[in-house]
Amino acid sequence: MDEKVASAIAHWGPRFTANGVTPADFARVTSSVERWPDWCGAWVSVGEQHEALGREALAEGRLRSGGEHLAQAAAYYHFAKFVFVEDLDQMRDAHRRAVRAYTDALPHLDPPGRRVEIPFEDGALVAVVRTPYGDGPFPVVVMIPGLDSTKEEIRSTEQTFLARGLATFSVDGPGQGEAEYDLRIRGDWGPVAEVLWETVGQQPGLDRDRMAVWGVSLGGYYSVRVAAALGDRLTAAVALAGPFCFGECWDGLPALTRDTFRVRSGSATDDEARAVADTLTLADVAGDVTAPTLVVFGRKDRLIPFQQAEKVHAAVAGSELLMLDEANHGCADYSPWHRPRTADWLAARLGGDAGDPTAPTLAKSGA
């Protein structure tokens, strides 16, 4: 097993199984890959098996199963490409497969979802909206993935919000997912925040007056940026594993992460990418955040040092810090310790329901 394969497994293994990959498939695929150039193809091959199950189920009218299989296939295709930037053609093909499988799954998810395409500068942002069963409008959580994650990866986190009567609006921002080819990573998310605010307000079933933002990893940085830009228009914010200044973390990042950032920031060299990373800082905006903010972090994070979370907490007035002493990056290895708590925290502030799941709540009525 070469160094890059070992790095991917060591840094992100729990994330795969927390976000849609079965433990058996994870073991089967990773044990078969010895060279990094074979990584993407190995995951695509298993993704094709799950997609075939989904297509067969849809053809037989088993729509729920079809949606579940296709969403799982999308996760496998996503993990084929997530940091595979050494062969961009192969990466992009795996990404197309992920988007197609997930798009076809959306009408059959529980609850269903729909795509929203948002013109932005020289490209477009793409989001997936899902609402609980029952009559809206519903409070909404704008969900922002990280450097190497996309809207197709965060479905399991969506479910914790949906179960509490909160709609989800999961978006690929600049440098992420479907937007990564035309729009580069940027430190200033003020313009992004404004277009998201306008788009949420135009969507049926969503209550923009009860809107929160949640982000993971680099998305945790973006979530604070969105909170700073929207000010008192935003009801709450969650930053999971996000840096205070990404440039301060650069020397400790895995090579796969640095390479991915270089490509998605449009940088030609590592030095250019480092310079862009230095622009991803909250130093000039953290004081503008007025919404209640929850900072979630793992003390054993091997990508972003836990001191970065302490800086965010200190800079955002009134914020709360949930530090998990044994958790790694993104806290996927300790997801039961933070996902339900985060969803309850947001439900309490947005008007969802963190109580009895058998009661006739927003999430259950009409189901």
Same domain membership, residue 344 and residue 207:
yes
Domain end (from 110, 132, 165): 110
Same domain membership, residue 121 and residue 99:
no
Same domain membership, residue 249 and residue 362:
yes
Same domain membership, residue 284 and residue 160:
yes
**pLDDT per residue as tens digits for the range 19-49:** 999 999 999 999 999 999 999 999 999 999 9
Report the mean per-residue pLDDT for the chain. Answer: 95
**Domain containing residue 19: CATH number:** 1.20.1440.110
Domain end (from 90, 110, 130): 110
Same domain membership, residue 131 and residue 39:
no
Q: Which amino acid is at 80?
A: A
Same domain membership, residue 222 and residue 198:
yes
The pLDDT value given to residue 199: 98
Same domain membership, residue 191 and residue 266:
yes
- Beta strands at 167-172 and 138-144: parallel, antiparallel or unpaired: parallel
d(CA 338, CA 353): 17
d(CA 25, CA 334): 20
- What are the DSSP calls for 310-349, one per residue? HHHHHHSTT-EEEEETT--GGGGGGGGGTHHHHHHHHHHH
Residues catalogued as catalytic:
217
> Which of the 8 DSSP states describes residue 245?
B
First to last CA, the chain: 48
Domain count within the chain: 2
Q: Is the pLDDT of residue 110 over 60?
A: yes
**pLDDT per residue as tens digits for the range 175-215:** 999 999 999 999 999 999 999 999 999 999 999 999 999 99
Range of the domain at 187: 111-367
Same domain membership, residue 235 and residue 364:
yes
DSSP SS3 for 141: strand
Same domain membership, residue 123 and residue 22:
no
pTM: 0.94
Same domain membership, residue 228 and residue 310:
yes
**Domain containing residue 184: CATH number:** 3.40.50.1820
Question: Is residue 118 a contact partner of residue 195, using CB atoms and an 8 Å limit?
Answer: yes
Two structure tokens written together for 296: 């979630």
Domain end (from 55, 90, 110): 110
Mean of pLDDT values over 299-325: 97
The pLDDT value given to residue 352: 84
Two structure tokens written together for 26: 């994870």
Same domain membership, residue 138 and residue 42:
no
Same domain membership, residue 14 and residue 150:
no
User: How distant is the alpha carbon of residue 250 from its chain centre?
Assistant: 21
